[in-house]
Structure 1
């Protein structure tokens, strides 16, 4: 796995390139992504970049998957930390809102949104994008199941879409949008 070396404290050249790609995409968007910008951010040569990633599509796909892997691991650790708390739905929604508020708010967090939009333009990235959203769905299922929600598989995609939409609104307006109330509305509405 791409992130395994990074978790052990050793960042491979490949991981450095992927992280630099995410950084550049977050700063200038996919349209501004150039090999020169990537190699400058990664501190590698152009030859090294093209050795590891012969195409930009492959580079973007792998960067997207690295982000999803690390994001899922981070969020899963948060879920696991609260799993034994025996939270009810409202407490769980409040925890989700706190987690969202604690997420960084900068160019690094814009990169995945840029990549998801690029996947809409480039069918070669859609499989990676689907895997990212499947990881979020799995995480939502685990959270909903831990909260005792009936049919968590049916609701997971809706919860992910709600949170992603709130994050997109936060990024595009610069204003924190509370998540607990709309999340509770969604979950209560599903139980009717």
Structure 2
């Protein structure tokens, strides 16, 4: 009489590693990779390695590279806008607000070399991507709202453009405008 087939014991799966910060780590790593290699050099493999996560985590958390980069750039915009807003909120007088604008141009709370590099990448990447253009518009709105606590809307708009433009120039200029020169420009803009 044939014996009954042996029932195999169920295979034990390896315990799942609980990693609640994995998604955030991937987003930060994406920005690190973009800062080092540019958007063109950002790959799932490089980002996974930088985040120290399995490659499969990339597709588990993000539908593709473009949604990942969009979310990473959103994180960048939100982080920088929060620093910008915090600096402007610390000003309690008109004079302090003007000095805060100068700080935003010559300090590194907004215009650090890394932030400027990532901003250049964001502008280029967003040129043909409406979702990222919306991220940029939202960032602009937050900056103007922070400035609008102290200045009329048209002045806030002009100051926002000046902060960004001078920051870009300062990042590549051989003789960037110093604090006094920036203070004089702010004075002319605010009247």
- TM-score scaled to structure 1, two decimals? 0.76
What is the match of residue 18 of structure 1? Answer: 27
Q: 2:147 matched to 1:140?
A: yes
Which is richer in helix? 1
- Say which is worse superposed, 102-111 or 51-60, in terms of deviation: 102-111
- What is the Cα deviation at residue 11 of structure 1? 7.8
Tell me, in whole angstroms, the C-alpha distance in 2 between the residues paired with 1:174 and 1:135: 31
What is the match of residue 160 of structure 2? Answer: 160
Q: 1:65 to 1:174 in 2, by over 3 A?
A: farther
- What is the Cα deviation at residue 129 of structure 1? 1.7
- TM-score scaled to structure 2, two decimals? 0.76
What is the match of residue 59 of structure 1? Answer: 68
- What is the Cα deviation at residue 177 of structure 1? 2.5
User: Superposition pairs for residues 19-34 of structure 1, below 5 Å?
Assistant: 19-34=28-43
Given candidates 103, 128, 135, the residue that maps to 1:128 is: 135
**Count of paired positions:** 168
Q: 1:119 to 1:159 in 2, by over 3 A?
A: same
Contact persistence 1:27–1:108 (CA under 8 A): no
Tell me, in whole angstroms, the C-alpha distance in 2 between the residues paired with 1:21 and 1:175: 32
Contact persistence 2:31–2:118 (CA under 8 A): yes
Tell me, in whole angstroms, the C-alpha distance in 1 between the residues paired with 2:174 and 2:53: 34
In the TM superposition, structure 1's runs of 4+ consecutive aligned residues that sit over 6 Å from their partners are none
> What are structure 2's unaligned runs of at least 5 residues?
1-18
Contact persistence 1:57–1:125 (CA under 8 A): no
Tell me, in whole angstroms, the C-alpha distance in 1 between the residues paired with 2:102 and 2:44: 38
Given candidates 109, 112, 123, the residue that maps to 1:105 is: 112
Q: 2:84 matched to 1:75?
A: yes
**Greater relative CO (CA pairs within 8 A, separation 6+):** 1
Considering only aligned residues, what root-mean-square deviation do their CA atoms show, in Å?
2.3
Q: 1:174 to 1:41 in 2, by over 3 A?
A: farther
